[in-house]
Structure 1
Amino acid sequence: MLIKEIESFIEEDLGYDDVSCTIVPDKPSEAVIFAKENCIIAGIKEAGSIFCYLGIQAETNLKDGDRLKEGDVIFRLKGGAVSILRAERLTLNFLGHLSGIATLTRACMDIVRQNSETTRVACTRKTTPGIRKFEKLAVAAGGGDPHRFNLSDSVMIKDNHIKLMGIEAAIEAAKKTGFTRKIEVEVESADDAVMAAKLGADIIMLDNMKPDAVRETLEILKEKGLRDLVIVEASGGISQANLEGYAKTGVDIISMGSLIHKSRWIDISLEITN
């Protein structure tokens, strides 16, 4: 976490006159942060950065992606009482939110692995403004793929691109952006998937297709000798509830915005011990 990010987060939480934490005597204190439910932990580095900035000694043997049980200690803290109280809500927010994402991602990965040895689960750019990179790293902690971090990572040709210029022109324009960037094309039919593959797309996203349609499209690509030339991704309306059906199709990637925007915060708490 960058210093400017830490300072921005602290400024937001403390405001111009911290009348809550400064009423306590600023004496040396100790505290623990612990999980109040089973989870996959994420946000260890982010919390550690905040503790370091505030001069708090934080000890942990955990790393992002570790599985915790209810009651497990995440951090043991030593520092000034005021600093610990100031760090409390900010660090708990990161740990709770990011662990929720990691926990949901791991649950989805478990479903996929029961049905496919190779299919990967990825998130999308449906993230919270300002903390995208942390949310995507939480997906990675849960065993998922972060997909693109931003619009510069690769070229994604979506439906509105195609409406404006057509698949062929869009792919040709994408190829001119640089040889290191992969080109992904969003399609809604098997015919368009075949066209995109023939035009040189690296990744084909099957948008809002049901599992049967995904399976049929994969078969058509295989029949035409194109299946091994592209990565095929299924996206749109996929959740934990219907994930199994997509995992059984043999698609390479299943992307799910719900990994982030439908994750539930994990209950994590800080308690002063001395």
Structure 2
Amino acid sequence: MQQIINFILRNKTTLFFVFLLAVSLSLSIQSHSYHRSRFFNSSNWIVGNVYSTQAKVSSYFKLKETSDNLLKENTDLRTLLFNTGISDTATIDTKTFQYVVIPGQVIKNSYAQRNNYITINRGKSDGIEQDMGVITSNGVLGIVEHTTNKFASVQSILNTKSNINAKIKNTNNFGSLKWDANRYDMVQLEDIPRMVPLLIGDTIVTGAMSSIFPENIPIGTIKKFNLNASESFYTIDVGLFNDMTNLNKVYIINNTYRSEIQELEEKIANDQ
């Protein structure tokens, strides 16, 4: 108590000035509508900014949760999209699906090598296996090549060993999608016959002959094509929908019929 009294005695002049200032401000605000309006407007501005900052901070911390929820919803929607024979979503049994979609995220990516690979944060414990397709919301990304318990390496579409069945959306003519290692935003579609009508801007999608990807997943658009008089097939440059330098969320596709299809194809090959 004595310390409080000593503090007041030492600072009595300053405290008296603060008291008089508070009284004068109070009288001024109460007696003048302009000052009163300015005071409350300033108070509202300060409080508003505090609440706004608080909302932004709260929104930031909820962003990851929101992103994960959206990815889960998109995964469910893509599963339905790839299994388009389903009409009643209320009685869905995922065990009957041909395609099962698993969400994931890119943790490492290369695009400047001849044989590029992508590492994702899903592995054997998540049901990921070799030869599963990997896509983004924009289109095809690559094919799973190796897996550990928690991670998987994906053979990028930007890999000289990559070979994906693709077709021209407008005509359904299919060929092989490869990469010549020249540009990270461009791949090449081969084996399209010269009699097929082509247009710059035609969309290229996955073909029906793939046991890895569902049909009609976007890949890119035709940017350039050439045909020499002595050749029977076009040379086609396809601009990718994916920005291969900026990858984040992915979807891994499991074709649950793949082993059965492969078994049948092997029997046919052995009979020939």
TM class by smaller structure? under 0.3
Q: TM-score, normalised by structure 2?
A: 0.25
Whichever structure has more helix as a proportion of its residues is 1
Q: Which of structures 1 and 2 has the bigger CA Rg?
A: 2
Q: Which has the higher strand share?
A: 2
